[in-house]
A = this chain, B = another copy of it.
Amino acid sequence: MAKETVTAAILVIGDEILSGRTRDQNIGYIAAHLTTIGIALEEVRIVPDIAPRIVAAVNELRGCYSYLFTTGGIGPTHDDITADAIAAAFKVPIDIDSRALDLMKPFYQARGLELTPARLRMARLPEGAGLIDNKVSVAPGFIMDNVIVMAGVPKVMQVMLDAVTKQLRTGAKMLTRTLDLERPESEIAELLGNLQESYDDVSMGSYPSFADGRLKTQLVLRSIDPARLDEAFEKLRNELALRGLL
């Protein structure tokens, strides 16, 4: 039986990405991870630290995809407004969560640090949220229905993504076969386009690059059906070989 498709979107929350101060390192990481586990990433948005913008994007995206992953805005400072925005999006109250507090207390005590109001802010979670472990800096991420809320700092985001992965429903895995050609893509475009027409269940992409002063092309075939993928790939190799393009 064919497995269902499980889809996702990412919402990156952060003025620092939009201003160019910080280069996002999370989108590519999450994208590759989701592809590996069998979740199809279908959209990404980046919005500023403005509550109504976050609320609107969360409500739009969580309704369109199986999962929404957010990054950023769950730290201790005034501009960390993601948890409040999620509570507003779900129309639930938000308060200090005793489970989060129980995790954070011993961590700060062991380091001789006070649980200041700023640190307590990181224990505030929307009512009904499940916790996501944070092995790096303890303050947890959380999952609210199909919305997974993670930190923006890449190392922390990565441990949260690992921690939440076992809870996720996954679907058919996208399989990939690639072929690297020392040709400009315009020389294989027609052949590839014709082949694509015979395989609507195999997506065929062509990615040009310049390296060592030469135009190169990587062809990428993707499908959830291994037999059809292999068939299309062999056909592609044969057609390229026939025309002396391999």
Contact = CB atoms under 8 A, between A and B. Distances in A.
Interface of A: 12, 15-24, 27-36, 41-49, 75-79, 116-119, 121-122, 136, 153, 155, 174, 176, 185-190, 192-193, 196, 203-210, 220, 222
Given A16-B207, A210-B153, A44 B45 contact: yes
B205 A79 contact: yes
Contact of A203 (B15, B75, B155, B207): B15
Contacts of A205: 15-16, 49, 77, 79
Identical copies of this chain, number: 2
Contacts of A30: 20
Given A76-B189, A77-B185, A121-B189, 18 more contacts: A18-B43, A18-B44, A19-B31, A19-B32, A19-B41, A21-B176, A21-B207, A22-B207, A27-B46, A42-B48, A43-B45, A43-B46, A43-B48, A44-B44, A44-B45, A77-B189, A78-B193, A118-B193
5 contacts: A15-B205, A15-B222, A18-B44, A22-B28, A75-B206
A77 B31 contact: no
A192 B19 contact: no
A134 B178 CA distance: 28
B42 A18 contact: yes
A220 B16 contact: yes
Given A31-B20, A46-B27, A119 B186 contact: yes
Nearest to A31: B20
Contact of A78 (B21, B32, B192): B192
A24 B32 CA distance: 12
Nearest to A21: B220
Contact of A28 (B23, B186, B210): B23
Nearest to A190: B118
A215 to B, nearest CB: 8
A189 B44 contact: no
A208 B75 contact: yes
Nearest to A119: B186
Contacts of A116: 186-187, 189-190
Q: Which of A153, A186, A209 has the most CB of B within 10 A?
A: A186
